[in-house]
Structure formats: structure tokens, C-alpha cells
Amino acid sequence: MKRIIAVVIALALLVFGVMASIFNALWASNWEDVFEDYAGSEYPPSFVVEAGDADSRIAILNIEGTIMDSGSSNMFGTEAYDHTLTVEALKEIINDDSIKGVLLNVDSPGGGVYESAEIHKYLVEAKEAGKTIYSSMAGMAASGGYYVSAPADEIYASDETLTGSIGVIMQSINYSQLAEDYGIEFETYASGDMKEMLGGHKDPSQEEEQYVQGMVDSMYQDFVSVVAEGRDMSEGEVENLADGRIYLGEDAMENGLVDQMGYLEDALASLKENVGGNPEVIEYGRGGNNQISFSYKAKSFINGLFGDTEIAQIESLLKNRQGVQPMYLYEQ
């Protein structure tokens, strides 16, 4: 009976979330606007923040949350960070001659190595296409958050900004002792000794540890090179700063990782002056679409209601285990 009640409640929350999203959109807009927002007739979506010369525009691109490709936003809920939208926006920026400047609004602890590198790639292409790029770092722009800021012509931070954390981390879960405690044995048939690398069901061998550390070191050197190129520093200078530690904004400016102290509005004012004239300011993203992901809350509610036994947790680890992923990520 408890499970039936929980399912009913979850469905009710889901329906309520959809209806609330539609109602909120209708309250502030008309049917045509709602259709465009949800049907995705304009992608990547953008809206005008400040009116001005449409032939000389500044594009604000928000990079907020963990930089991971977790899928695009939809009407059932929005992700804190939308990688597809970010990449598509950068492609559009590169090919749009009316966009003269780009302002990155970064508030991120970093994320995946691949996603961070992909954003960096398109930002470099945007610079090559003649766009002026500024980065405004909010509360946090650490690791991958700094990686994507590195190509900017000017980097802004506040006294409260946490940045730096230049480095790479790879983690795996070793649950072999836990499995042993519950009498779980593994029967593994692999084509090579390294096929089980960091599988979690056994202690890593010395060969595995050396191999993985070599991968981490290689990606670390890529990070150092990106910062050195973006900040016009030698790799040695960057390595002196790149032991993984974080810096407050003022410290980051003193050691060359930041150019100016200020907030988003300060960076925008400076970029406007750089672009010249009276540029129109646009922002990429789904403006005003702040609905709560009720489906996620329903799932959390059900998990909290019934809980997970230790055996169920082990089963989940075995079924859902994925490969270890390298991260440009500051972990708190």
C-alpha cells in the first residue's frame, strides 16, 4: 500500500509540475511565446537584455554549474548547465558577424575534461573570428571553470571569487572490502590484464596506478598549456600556481590569473567600451523559464520514503558502474 501511495504522489507531483510550468509561462507571455520556448523553434534560444545597435552586439553566455553533458533542458525541468546549448550558442556566435563581443558569466566548480576542452576550442575559434571575449567569474570559477575562462582577453573576478584549482582528478570506488563483508564474489573473464583497470572490485595493481597517473599527468600538461597560452605566461610560471589550490580573486589577480577586480556589470561596461558605439546586448538561455524539476523531487521523495538497504546499494553499484572519468573539477 505504501508503494501505491508513493507512486500516486509522484505522479501527482509530476502533473502539478507540468501544469505549473505552463501556467507560469502563460502568466508572463502569450501562446506564441510559450510555443516558441517549449517547441524549440529558436535554438539556441536567446533574448535581448539591452536594446541597442543590432549590427554590433554583445552576447552573454552563462556557464553555471558543473560542466557536464547531462542533456538539454526541457519543459519538465532545467539543468543548471546545458552543454548542448552552450556549444550551439558558441557556433552561432562564431558565424554571426553582428556579434562583436562575448561575455562569459562563469559560476562553476569545473567538470568534465572533454566538455571543458570543447568549450575552450570554440572560444578560441571565436577569437580567431575577431570576437572580443571577456570572462566575469562569480562566486566560483575553479578548475574547468577557469579552463574555459583562460582564452578570454580580460578576466574579471571579485574579492569573493574562488578560482584556480588548476589540475585533473580521477576517482574510482573500491568496494572490494564491502563485497567481501557481504560474501560477494566476482567471476571476471577479461581479454587482458588492464581490461579490469579501476574496476572497483579489487585493489589496483602498481601497473594500473602508474598507467592512470600517466593519463592524469598528460591531461594536466594540457591544462597548463591552455593557461600559459591564454595568460601569456610560461608553462613553468603556470606550474608554480597549478598544484590544485584555489585562490581568492585578489590573490588570483596578483599571480596573473585575473586581470581586473569587479562584477558582471563591470565586465559588461568595459566590454561595451571596447566594442564601441551602443551595442545591443543579448543573452543565450531560456529566459524566465525557472520551473522546478518535480520529476526529480518525486524520485527523491520515493527514495527517502523507502530508503536503500546496504545490499541494494551494492547492487546499484554493480549495475550502474561506469568508467572512471577524468575531471577538471574542484571538489569541496
Positive/negative CA dihedral, 114, 116, 119, 122: negative
Q: Which residue has the cell 590573490?
A: 251
Cα R_g (the chain), whole angstroms:
23
Residue 195 annotated as catalytic: yes
Name the active-site residue from 195, 225, 234, 316. Answer: 195
Instruction: Calculate ∠ Cα 203-205-206, nearest 5°.
Output: 135
- In 10 A of CB 84, how many CB atoms? 15
- Helix extents (H) in 282-329: 294-306, 310-320
Coil vs helix vs strand at 135 = strand
Cα angle vertex 321, ends 318, 326, to 5°?
A: 155
Closest listed residue to residue 123, CA positions, set 225, 223, 226, 48: 226
Q: All 3 cell numbers of residue 72?
A: 538539454
For cell 519538465, what's the residue?
A: 76
Mark whether 143 is an active-site residue.
yes
Q: Cell numbers of 126, please?
A: 571565436
User: Which of 116, 143, 158, 293 is an active site residue?
Assistant: 143
Cα 297 to Cα 10: distance, rounded to the nearest angstrom: 8
What is the set of active-site residues?
Answer: 143, 195
